[in-house]
Amino acid sequence: MNLYASTNAGNLSAAAKRAKPLVYVPNSESNTVTVIDPVQRKIVRTFHVGKLPQHVVPSSDMNTLWVTDNKGNTLTRIDPVTGLEGNTVPVDDPYNLYFTPDGKTALVIGEGLERIDFRDPTTMKLLASVHVACRGVDHLDFTADNKYAFVTCEFSGQVIKLDLAERKAVDYLKLHGKAMPQDIRANPDGTVFYVADMKTGGLHVIDAAKFKEVEFIPTGKGTHGIIVGRGGSPFYIMNRGSSYIDGPPHGPGSITVLDPETRKILANWPIPKGGSPDMGNITADGKDLWISGRYDSEVYDIDTSSGRLVARIKVGWQPHGLCVWPQPGDVCLGHTGNMR
């Protein structure tokens, strides 16, 4: 089994094929989204959204992109065909946004409210709220059988096992050390999950069946984002270089290239002259890795064949959950374009 078998280059859905190829950069502290042409590597436009935009998230049907305006308590709609913004929908504390693998439910991550809201994926009407016994609920990914979501809690060093049918937390895992977990992704066969840890600088490895930590892989300081390569390999791990806890100066940030099956590090690509790689995705053809530079008001375009920095583009203040759209795959799970 390979969860990412449908994400090879060229396997675009009908909806994804209609989209204009663009890179969307939410600038959290500027309350804007910068739109970049990934071929010309130039800014097309910048537009204003609600307060504290965190991520640009493709919907489960791939017909809408949502900007999660965290403190604005809204989702701002973007039409992926035109790249233009549309209306806003009121939603409480949308730090992050995911969709169940069957596409029937949206999961809004209310980081400040310490809850996960189950919503209609189209109208965003509230269906149920799950309060969680942890602080800083953050990112999630789904088990191979689609029965559970594993959810990170940034400020209490935990991972939640969330029963999707019962809509409740059924278990909590405390990660080793002074953990500050961020992004989380399943490996291709779904047997383990990798959890990025910004404080300990590496990846916790969780056995999916036992819901138990089995290994820790050091990658670099300030480990934050995990990007899955075309067809499921390799994984690109974003190491910010410093976290907001550390303060300036920022960097030197780097990207760790990992074989998700053997758990072996294949390469480490430092960002030239420093930088703070955070979140992003690869282009549909898999050739370019676009990443936000969280503390440097810039984005990076990295050649995936060599790790060479191709472009460095100045954007707004604190760019975060950068979305590269379209993406190949049969199912969109949300976040910045998590596909299966």
Q: Kindly state the average pLDDT of the residues 214-226.
A: 96
Q: Read off the pLDDT of residues 114-129 as tens digits, 9 standing for 90 and up.
A: 999 999 999 999 999 9
The 3-state secondary structure of the chain reads CCCCHHHCCCCCCHHHHHCCCEEEEEECCCCEEEEEECCCCEEEEEEECCCCEEEEEECCCCCCEEEEECCCCEEEEEECCCCEEEEEEECCCCCEEEECCCCCCEEEEECCCCEEEEECCCCCCEEEEEECCCCCEEEEEECCCCCEEEEEECCCCEEEEEECCCCEEEEEEECCCCCCEEEEEECCCCCEEEEEECCCCEEEEEECCCCEEEEEEECCCCEEEEEECHHHCCEEEEECCCCCCCCCCCCCCEEEEECCCCCCEEEEEECCCCCCEEEEEECCCCCEEEEEECCCCEEEEEECCCCCEEEEEECCCCECECEEECCCCCCECECCCCEC
Q: What is the CA radius of gyration of the chain?
A: 18
Residue 248 confidence (pLDDT): 52
CA distance 193 to 205: 6
Q: Kindly state the average pLDDT of the residues 37-56.
A: 98
Residue 274 confidence (pLDDT): 87
Task: Quote the tokens at residue 123.
Answer: 């109208």
Flag whether pLDDT at 246 surpasses 60.
no
Q: Kindly state the average pLDDT of the residues 316-337.
A: 98
Q: What domains are there in the chain, each with its CATH number? A: 5-325 (2.130.10.10)
Flag whether pLDDT at 243 surpasses 80.
no
Residue 252 confidence (pLDDT): 80
Q: Kindly state the average pLDDT of the residues 216-243.
A: 94
Residue 161 confidence (pLDDT): 98
Q: Kindly state the average pLDDT of the residues 316-338.
A: 98
The count of residues in the chain is 340
Flag whether pLDDT at 70 surpasses 90.
yes
Residue 83 confidence (pLDDT): 97
CA distance 216 to 174: 14
Q: What percent of the chain has pLDDT over 70?
A: 97
Mean pLDDT, the chain, integer: 96
Q: Kindly state the average pLDDT of the residues 10-31.
A: 97
Where does the pLDDT of residue 251 fall: very low under 50, low under 70, confident under 90, or very high at 90 and above? low
- Tokens 């940034």 locate to 154
pTM: 0.96
Flag whether pLDDT at 37 surpasses 80.
yes
Residue 203 confidence (pLDDT): 98
Flag whether pLDDT at 197 surpasses 60.
yes
Longest dimension (CA), the chain: 49
103 or 251: whose pLDDT is higher? 103
Residue 142 confidence (pLDDT): 98
Residue 222's closest CA among 205, 238, 235, 204? Answer: 238
Q: Kindly state the average pLDDT of the residues 213-239.
A: 97
